[in-house]
C-alpha cells in the first residue's frame, strides 16, 4: 500500500488535514474512547484508490526540540517511510529559513513531493501564494483543511502515485500472515529469529538506505506462516538510528498487511503508551491480536505473578479483553513456538462463518433476554442478522432505528454472539443497518 506522509511546521494544520483525509470517526473508533486521541496513521480512500497517511508531526515530541532539528527529523522520517510526501505550509504566514531547509531536504531526497498552502479559506487569500514560489518549488496547491477547499485537487495529485485497490489474492489468503510488532528492544528480532531458526544471522545493516519490506516464510506442520516485513527486524542495526525511535510507523505498515498481530510487550515494563497505540491501531483495523509478554525469564515469579500481569494488561487494554495473552522468553525459547499454536486456533476463529439460520435463532434468544431500547417513542426492532465477511467475522443486523442502538446494547449483542458461537480470541464486527 502506498504511504503518504504529511510534513510541516507546528500549527500549519497538519492534524486537521489528516483528520479530513482519513475521516476520523469510523464506526469502530467511536466504541473505543481515548484510543485514537492522538492518531497519526490512517487510511484514506479516494475514488477507487486507497493509501496510508502518516502525520509525521504527531510522531514527534513537541516539547523542547529546537524547531530546526524537529523539522529535519520529521522530514527525514517522511523521506524514509513514505512513497509520496505532502509538505504543508501556513498560507497566511511569512516564510522562514526552516521552510527553505525543508524544501532543500525534500529536493535532495527526490521522492514525489507536493506542496500545499493551508488556511486559504477564501479566494482572496490566494494572493499570498506568490510568496511561496521564492522557495523554488514547481507548484503550490491552495487548500483549506478547515473549510474543505482544494482537497479534491490534492487527492488527485497524490493518487497519481497510487494503484487502484485490489482484493486480497488467493496466495495471500492461503498463508497465515503474522506481524510481529512492538517497541525497539522488546525482543522482536530475538523472537522472529528464534522461530525462523537462524539466530546466528544477525548482521549489521547499512544505515541510510530505504528499507524495503521483506517478508519471511515459515512452513511448519503443514501450515504456511508469513512473517511480515522482517527486513528491519532480522538484520538488526547496531547503529543508533534516530529514525528507529519512530519505528511505530513501520509497525503500522505491517499491521495493514497482516491477519494476526503479535504485539510484543516487555515483561519488565508492562504496557506503555506506544504499545497501546500499536495495539489500538491493530484493534481498529480488525486484526486478530495475540499479546505476547516477552522477557518473562527476567521476572521473579510466584504462583500469582502471571495472574497479576493478565489483570494489569487487561486493565490498560480494556477493549482487547478477548485477545489471548502468552508469556514468552525469546532468549530461552520458552513458549515461543506455542505462540504459533495460539495463532492457528485464532486464525481458525478469525475465518469462521456462521450459517444465517443459526444466527437468527440466536438473535431471537438475545432479543427475548434483553429487548432493544425505545428510541424517540418507537420500539427499536432488530429484524434479521447475517454474516457478511470473515477476517474478522463481520455481521450486519437490520433495524428500524439504527440510531436507537446505543453502544451498550451493541456490546451486549457482540458479547452474546461471542458466547453463543464460542468465538475465541478473534475480534468481531457488528454493523447495524437501516432496514
Binding-site residues for GTP sit at 8-15, 55-59, 118-121, 182-189, 294-297
Number of residues that bind ligand GDP (CB under 6 A): 17
* Stretch of 56-64, 96-104, 163-171, 323-331 lying at the interface with ligand GDP (CB under 6 A): 323-331
Bind-site residues? 8-15, 55-59, 118-121, 182-189, 294-297
SS3 assignment for the chain: CCEEEEECCCCCCHHHHHHHHHCCCCHHHHCCCCCCCCCCEEEEEECCEEEEEEEHHHHCCCCCCCHHHHHHHHHHHHHHHCCEEEEEEECCCCCCHHHHHHHHHHHHHCCCEEEEEECCCCHHHHHHHHHHHHHCCCCCEECECCCCECHHHHHHHHHCCCCECCCCCHHHHHCEEEEEECCCCCCHHHHHHHHHCCCCCCCCCCCCCCCCCCCEEEEECCEEEEECCCHHHHCCCCCCCHHHHHCHHHHHHHHHHCCEEEEEEECCCECCHHHHHHHHHHHHCCCEEEEEEECHHHCCCCCCHHHHHHHHHHHHCHHHCCCCEEECCCCCCCCCCHHHHHHHHHHHHHCCCCCHHHHHHHHHHHHHHCCCCEECCEECCEEEEEEEECCCCEEEEEECCHHHCCHHHHHHHHHHHHHHCCCCCCCCEEEEEEC
| 259 is an interface residue for ligand GDP by CB under 6 A | no
* Stretch of 42-50, 206-214, 327-335, 407-415 lying at the interface with ligand GDP (CB under 6 A): 327-335
The correct pick among 12, 330, 366, 430 for binding ligand GDP (CB under 6 A) is: 330
The correct pick among 329, 339, 349, 426 for binding ligand GDP (CB under 6 A) is: 329
* Stretch of 38-46, 71-79, 188-196, 273-281 lying at the interface with ligand GDP (CB under 6 A): 188-196
The correct pick among 50, 75, 118, 190 for binding ligand GDP (CB under 6 A) is: 190
Residue nearest to ligand GDP (CB): 187
x/- site string to ligand GDP, residues 210 to 249, per CB under 6 A?
A: -----------------------x--x-------------
42/187 with CB nearer ligand GDP: 187
* Stretch of 159-167, 185-193, 302-310, 422-430 lying at the interface with ligand GDP (CB under 6 A): 185-193
Please state the closest distance from residue 254 (CB atom) to ligand GDP, in A.
Answer: 13
Please state the closest distance from residue 158 (CB atom) to ligand GDP, in A.
Answer: 32
> Which positions ≥6 away from 397 have C-beta within 8 Å?
363, 382, 384, 385, 413, 430, 431, 432, 433
Match 424517540 to its residue by C-alpha cell: 376
Cα gap 73→244, rounded to integer Å: 11
**Interface of this chain with ligand GDP, residues 157 to 176, rule: CB under 6 A:** none
x/- site string to ligand GDP, residues 269 to 308, per CB under 6 A?
A: -------------------------xx-xx----------
| 205 is an interface residue for ligand GDP by CB under 6 A | no
| 187 is an interface residue for ligand GDP by CB under 6 A | yes
334/360 with CB nearer ligand GDP: 334
The correct pick among 25, 185, 345, 364 for binding ligand GDP (CB under 6 A) is: 185
* Stretch of 101-109, 328-336, 358-366, 421-429 lying at the interface with ligand GDP (CB under 6 A): 328-336
> Which residues form the interface with ligand GDP (CB under 6 A)?
182, 184-190, 233, 236, 294-295, 297-298, 329-331
Amino acid at each position: 500500500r502506498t504511504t503518504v506522509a504529511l510534513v510541516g511546521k507546528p500549527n500549519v494544520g497538519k492534524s486537521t488535514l489528516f483528520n479530513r483525509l482519513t475521516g476520523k470517526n469510523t464506526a469502530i473508533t467511536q466504541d473505543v474512547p481515548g484510543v485514537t486521541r492522538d492518531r497519526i496513521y490512517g487510511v484514506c480512500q479516494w475514488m477507487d484508490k486507497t493509501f496510508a497517511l502518516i502525520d509525521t508531526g504527531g510522531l514527534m515530541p513537541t516539547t523542547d526540540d529546537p524547531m530546526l532539528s524537529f523539522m529535519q527529523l520529521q522530514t527525514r522520517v517522511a523521506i524514509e517511510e513514505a512513497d509520496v510526501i505532502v509538505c504543508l505550509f501556513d498560507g497566511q504566514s511569512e516564510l522562514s529559513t526552516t521552510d527553505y531547509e525543508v524544501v532543500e531536504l525534500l529536493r535532495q531526497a527526490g521522492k514525489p513531493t507536493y506542496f500545499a498552502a493551508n488556511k486559504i479559506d477564501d479566494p482572496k487569500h490566494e494572493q499570498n501564494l506568490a510568496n511561496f514560489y521564492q522557495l523554488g518549488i514547481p507548484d503550490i496547491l491552495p487548500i483549506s483543511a478547515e473549510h474543505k477547499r482544494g482537497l479534491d485537487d490534492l487527492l488527485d495529485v497524490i493518487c497519481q502515485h497510487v494503484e487502484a485497490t485490489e482484493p486480497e489474492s488467493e496466495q495471500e489468503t492461503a498463508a497465515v500472515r503474522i506481524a510481529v510488532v512492538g517497541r525497539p528492544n522488546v525482543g522482536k528480532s530475538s523472537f522472529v529469529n528464534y522461530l525462523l531458526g537462524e539466530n546466528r544471522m544477525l548482521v549489521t545493516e547499512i544505515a541510510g538506505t530505504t528499507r524495503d519490506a521483506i517478508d519471511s516464510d515459515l512452513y511448519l506442520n503443514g501450515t504456511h506462516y508469513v512473517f511480515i516485513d522482517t527486513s528491519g527486524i532480522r538484520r538488526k542495526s547496531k547503529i543508533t538510528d534516530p529514525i528507529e525511535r519512530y519505528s511505530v510507523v513501520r509497525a503500522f505498515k505491517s499491521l495493514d498487511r497482516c491477519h494476526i498481530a503479535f504485539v510484543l510487550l516487555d515483561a519488565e515494563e508492562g504496557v506503555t503508551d506506544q504499545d497501546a497505540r500499536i495495539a489500538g491501531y491493530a484493534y481498529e483495523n480488525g486484526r486478530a491480536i495475540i499479546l505476547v509478554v516477552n522477557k518473562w525469564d527476567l521476572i521473579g515469579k510466584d504462583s500469582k505473578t502471571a495472574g497479576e500481569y493478565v489483570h494489569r494488561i487487561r486493565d490498560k487494554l480494556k477493549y482487547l479483553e478477548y485477545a489471548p495473552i502468552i508469556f514468552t522468553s525469546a532468549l530461552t525459547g520458552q513458549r515461543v513456538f506455542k505462540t504459533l499454536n495460539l495463532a492457528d486456533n485464532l486464525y481458525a476463529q478469525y475465518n469462521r462463518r456462521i450459517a444465517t439460520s443459526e444466527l437468527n435463532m440466536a438473535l431471537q434468544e438475545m432479543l427475548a433476554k434483553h429487548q432493544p431500547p425505545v428510541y424517540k417513542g418507537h420500539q427499536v426492532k432488530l429484524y434479521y442478522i447475517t454474516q457478511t465477511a470473515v477476517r474478522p467475522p463481520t455481521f450486519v443486523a437490520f433495524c428500524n432505528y439504527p440510531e436507537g442502538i446505543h453502544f451498550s446494547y451493541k456490546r451486549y449483542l457482540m458479547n452474546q454472539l461471542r458466547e453463543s458461537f464460542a468465538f475465541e480470541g478473534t475480534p468481531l464486527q457488528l454493523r447495524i443497518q437501516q432496514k
